[in-house]
Amino acid sequence: MRPVSGFERPGLQWLFIGLGFVLIATAAAEGIALRRARTDIAAMRASDRSSQIEIDALRARAAREQAARERVTRDLSHQRGAGDGLTEPTLTLAPLITRAAQPPEPTVTKPDDHQSIQLRLLLPAHAAAADARYTIVIRTWSGGDTVWSRGGLSMTTMDAKPMVTSFMTGDVFAPGAYEIALARTSPGGGSSDVAAYEVAIRP
């Protein structure tokens, strides 16, 4: 192989040796920075998982407390109703055909916070399944924030109309518009949207 002209000079050789050391040091620094970044990312992911677990636990606890409060309120309402002949109020909603661009007009008066209410969601004909389980999620119409949810519900029939019902308390509804999503869980574990509903609460 023909030698490179000028490379035999010591100064040039030391220059290339120095550049080699610089490249090695740079590669080593990059490797250390990369390992640190991977460690930081792993720590952040672990922290996120831990935070998500805590959030899920708080949500589950809040749901249990909400369910317990609803049961107590319902029992009290039944006891009071048995004494004065009053019946428990119901809120019956039909599924939407299309979602409007504007929120619905308020048609329901704000119930008392401690009032027990039976929510009745009429089922579309194709969605009625006796062996399925349903989940109701209530969200604010504009922001989409979840304010209440209940799962593991079964279909029932009233006046020959299939529907999904659940009890709640009046504190779920503040004045404003809400959208209600109904989903179905099949025996195999798959979930699918069934219908959407809307309601607006006036003060």
Residue type, 134: Y
Record: fold of 90-202: Immunoglobulin-like (2.60.40)
DSSP 140: E
Residue 45 pLDDT > 90: no
Q: Are 165 and 71 in contact (CB under 8 A)?
A: no
CA–CA gap between residue 146 and residue 132 (Å, rounded): 23
CA–CA gap between residue 200 and residue 173 (Å, rounded): 9
Mean local confidence (pLDDT), 106-135 = 86
CA–CA gap between residue 168 and residue 90 (Å, rounded): 10
What pLDDT is recorded for position 86? Answer: 47
What pLDDT is recorded for position 82? Answer: 47
What pLDDT is recorded for position 83? Answer: 47
Give residue 195's pLDDT band: very low, low, confident or very high (50, 70, 90). Answer: very high
For the chain, the structural domain boundaries read 1-87, 90-202
Condensed to tens digits (0 to 9), the pLDDT of residues 135-185 reads 999 999 998 999 999 988 989 988 889 999 998 888 899 999 999 999 988
Within 13 Å, how many C-alpha atoms sit on residue 114's CB side? 7
CA–CA gap between residue 66 and residue 148 (Å, rounded): 9
Mean local confidence (pLDDT), 54-68 = 66
What pLDDT is recorded for position 1? Answer: 47
